Amino acid sequence: MSVPVPDDTDEDLNKSINQLLSVANRSQEVFDFQNIIVYSDFPHIRPSVQQRLWETAKKPIFAVSDFREGPPSDQYTFGENIIVVLFSKVDDPIMSAVGHNERVNMNRKTFIFVYVPPMAEDKPGRNDTIQGVFEFCRTRGYDLMLLLYQGEIWTFQYFRETTFTRLPHNKNHIDFLRSLHLKYLVQVAVDPPISFWANSTEQSAVTGGGNLSLYGPIGFLVVEFIRILNGTMEILPMEYKPNLQYWINKDSINSGDVDLVANLVYYNTSVDQSMMMDSQICLLLPRYRLQPMFQYLSGSWCGSVLYLLFFALFCVFLIKYFSYRPRSPLNAFFNTIRFHCNIPIPDAEMRLMGLPDKCIHLLSSFGMTLFYGVSLSVLATRFTTGCFYPLITDAESFKASGLRIITDDPAVLNLFEENQLPRSLKDKVTIVDIKTLKDSFKSLNDSVAYVAKSTTWAGAQMYQERLTRPRLWIADDKLCSRPRSLNIPIYPHSPMMKIFPDFYMRIFESGLMQKWYRSGYRKYRTLTGILTLPTDPEIYSPVTLYLYKNVIWIYVCGMGMATLTFVIELLYNRFWPMNN
């Protein structure tokens, strides 16, 4: 299909139209856009261009010729669209319509400006037209754009200052950036182990001889990215750290004072470009909490068994009390103890028993022997493996555990008030100083719980990696906040903006992030003086008599009382006849 245009411009315009169709076809493969919006006030060109675009892309076409028409349709508001603009001069009314209708860039858009030579003799200069379109796009934030000008394809990149340089044919975009040797401003807040800075010259080749270096997986990611761009960076430390809400001061990014912030945060002006991972705020809980040894006996049987045991003791006491004369509570008590301890009775007493009594005594002895055997087996197992409290899985089980939550960040209370974490656990939160919190975590204190970001959970895992059974674990979703998408804030007009997402995906797929987690944590341990990691206690030592100290003391005291009673009775019987 031919496009009716003046004869002297027919060849250049047809080149631009063919390039437009080629770009639209390629964009369909890469971006899979939903709609095409055509801005044009050339009645003799617009119908045929729309027809050819539809035949090429097979996508809905919307046409706009005046800003008074308003946005073409609400159905393209949240889609990925291609905006095609046919213009002759930068000050054309159709350019005003583009600036008016697309001023709120709510979605991802690719702008393609097609230059249509005017029929008048006063044609604008080539450089003036190109620079005018670039300035038009820059001031409105249209970063994804192409200019089709007389058979040439142009685009622009903002490098802090507006300059116009033609890209050589033998260089791609990244090669051109590398040839500029740009210096980037990188801000960072201390957020170990994911990202932090330290006084070091290890990265002086990237920092331009500076004495600050970045560490942690995000820090190493930024350093490698700057190295790939063949540039240098200036590290600007922030005096505060990101809180648990993943928030930092974003004014420096919005104003363009820095190119990048080397931290994971929740809010960013370019969230669709630099999204990194999802994260949650969770409770860090003790997984295996040992019960004290004095609770082993009560923990080995349920309450009903203990109640039944005491009821049996009481019944046997009553039987022994009413079965012998003269009735003596002391004799009944000793007989009850002898019965439940399965102490054999004398043969003479056995002969005096009737057949029913002998059967009852035999069966009772068998039952008590079985009971004590099972009890000893259970206690031996508990002493060997330990007895643990039930796992904490939700707010109710946390309340039943009696634990408290310690933190040094008062903003944690807001998480419970807003019910991001269970509101019913707010009264369990205790604010402590940072030293107390660090000492408690370093000792793996399992009598408290902590609040942590899931992005820093890797550090807690590496701290416990030498333990056979880690003591702390991150809670399930019932004790976590809703997931949030975190990203690295990048200034939208920075040269690294369009390249960083692809670089991150390559690094993520290569597995380097896991390596950088470990490298960053080793550096953090060196800086904080964590020279050794916790290990399991020695469990192959025999049980000493000290474990049975209380039982031995009961035996010694009982034998002492029995001996003392014997001596008193002996002396009493020896001297009683003399007194009479």
Burial class from Cβ neighbours inside 10 Å (0-12, 13-18, 19+) for residue 75 reads exposed
Q: Which of 19-23, 73-77, 270-274, 337-341 has the highest mean pLDDT?
A: 19-23
- 441-456 in b/e burial notation, b at 16+ Cβ within 10 A? beeeebebbbbbbbbb
Whether 7 has a pLDDT exceeding 50, the answer reads no
pLDDT reported for residue 103? 65
More confident residue, 25 or 441: 441
pLDDT reported for residue 265? 81
Q: Return the closest-CA partner of residue 387 out of 303, 284, 283, 301.
A: 301
Extract long-range pairs of 241-245: CB within 8 Å, 24+ residues apart.
Answer: 241/189, 241/190, 241/191, 242/189, 242/191, 243/409, 243/411, 244/281, 244/409, 244/411, 244/412, 244/415, 244/451, 244/453, 245/281, 245/411, 245/414, 245/415
CA angle, 520 then 524 then 527, to 5°: 140
Whether 227 has a pLDDT exceeding 90, the answer reads yes
Arithmetic mean of pLDDT, 268-285: 69
Start-to-end Cα distance in the chain: 145
Question: pTM of the full predicted structure?
Answer: 0.69
pLDDT reported for residue 541? 65
Put residue 456 in one of left, alpha, beta given phi > 0 → left and psi -120 to 50 → alpha. Answer: alpha
pLDDT reported for residue 255? 61
Q: Which CATH superfamily is domain 173-280+483-541 in?
A: Periplasmic binding protein-like II (3.40.190.10)
* Least confident stretch, 65-79, 316-330, 401-415, 561-575: 65-79
* Least confident stretch, 129-143, 259-273, 297-311: 259-273
pLDDT reported for residue 454? 85
CB atoms within 10 A of CB 395: 17
Band (404; pLDDT cuts 50, 70, 90): very high
- How is residue 241 written in tokens? 């750290």
Q: Which of 47-56, 379-388, 526-535 has the highest mean pLDDT?
A: 526-535
pLDDT reported for residue 432? 92
Strand partners, 215: 196
Band (2; pLDDT cuts 50, 70, 90): very low
**Largest separation between any pair of C-alpha atoms in the chain:** 154
Arithmetic mean of pLDDT, 77-100: 82
- How is residue 289 written in tokens? 């909490």
Summarize pLDDT for 417-462 with one digit per residue, the tens: 888 899 999 999 999 998 999 899 998 998 899 998 888 888 889 9
pLDDT reported for residue 449? 94
* Least confident stretch, 116-120, 141-145, 166-170, 444-448: 166-170
Say which CATH topology domain 7-156 has: Rossmann fold (3.40.50)
Q: What is the DSSP letter of 428?
A: G
Q: Which of 62-76, 420-434, 491-505 has the highest mean pLDDT?
A: 420-434
